[in-house]
Amino acid sequence: MEYQAFVGMDVHKETISLAVAEPGRDGEVRNLGVITNTPELIAKTVQRLIKRYGVVEFAYEAGPCGYVIHRQLESLECECRIVAPSRTPKRPGERIKNDTRDAALLARHLRSGDLSYVWVPDEIHEAMRDLTRARQIAANDVRTCRARIQTFLLKHGRRYDRKRWGYRHREWLANQSFDHCSQQIAFQSYINALEQAESRKGELEKQIAELVPAWSLGPIVHALQALKGIGLVIAATLVAEVGDFRRFTKPRQLMAFLGLVPGEHSSGANIRQRGITKTGNSPVRALLFEAAWCYRTRPKVGSWMWARQPDIEQEIKDISWKAQIRLCSRYRRLVARGKKSSVATTAVARELVGFIWDIATRVTPVDCAAR
């Protein structure tokens, strides 16, 4: 489609700064001013721009305002792009930054095609992503509460040398008593906070299990659980964060998207390899490391995996077993060569993403409207 104008928007909670770039290499880039961030003023401004220029393309950077403006512009039959802020070209040495310049920069780069766009989920997919992220926050709260209890006990010289957070450890915690009443109340408040966080985490996991079957990407979540180390929570979180796996034509693109490919800083004959790039979603990357840690043992389909696999197609089971054979062997070879376990786990996680991509692209999402 040929556009007659390119509009860059610097979006904030209360205001939106706009700039327009006319087509052509020498097209003028003008500031359109600042409007209040309300649906009524946005619609009015868009209609005015369409009336003046004709076919207009809009763009703004991804941020805390989400996809509300994008969906409003799409409902007005306008093309809108959401830009990845980390990949917006910037001139080195630039020391002046304000909303007006940011909007003009977006308009100019939108016209030249130098921007990288993010994938925009639909409302149902965004809702599932919010649910999985709420579960991640609850899991972080549990870890924080446990660390707080351990710190408090260590400060008072209390140590438990066996396996922590099991039934016996909980019983030991319940029997702890302190000389001063204030200390006992403080300790009990930490225990109560942990129980509340664990209850919230369990409730969110229960809701994920109930809502995934009705989700259009539920079959992908179900199929990914055939892989060793990937349960319901990891599968649902991965699918919610990545979205459409088919937008990656090769598994290496998905690995790069998740920040699991090696970095490099070379110049001429000087070749310097670095660790993984760590770009993208760090919580998902942490879950992949957790899944990859399961491949340090021998290949085996245990009773837990066998109980989950009867409803999965044989083709998916074959890929899962192939992944076990390769990744378990990969981990043992790397450790035998003297690599640290963390390095070996990272390499396994990178290759595990390739098997995840293979399974996800073979499974067809369900059309919820057809149910």
Residue-by-residue DSSP string for 28-62? -EEEEEEEES-HHHHHHHHHHHHHHHSSEEEEEE-
Instruction: Locate 81 and state its tokens.
Output: 């792009």
Strand-by-strand arrangement of the 29-36 sheet: 29-36, 15-21, 5-11, 56-61, 79-83
Residues of the chain with CATH 3.30.420.10: 5-112
Q: Which residue has the tokens 């830009």?
A: 83
Scan for tokens 């039959």, then name that residue.
77
pTM equals 0.90
Q: What is the pLDDT of residues 199-239, one digit of tens each?
A: 999 999 999 999 999 999 999 999 999 999 999 999 999 99
Per the DSSP assignment, residues forming a β-bridge with 21 are 6, 29
Q: CA 297, CA 295: separation in Å to the nearest integer?
A: 5
Q: Which CATH class, in words, describes the domain spanning 5-112?
A: alpha beta
Summarised one tens digit per residue, pLDDT across range 164-205 is 999 999 999 999 999 999 999 999 999 999 999 999 999 999
Q: Which of 20-29, 186-195, 302-311 has the weakest average pLDDT?
A: 302-311
What tokens appear for 15 in the block? 């205001």
The residue behind tokens 């109980």 is 307
Q: Are 55 and 76 in contact (CB under 8 A)?
A: no
Cα–Cα distance between 292 and 80 in angstroms, integer? Answer: 38
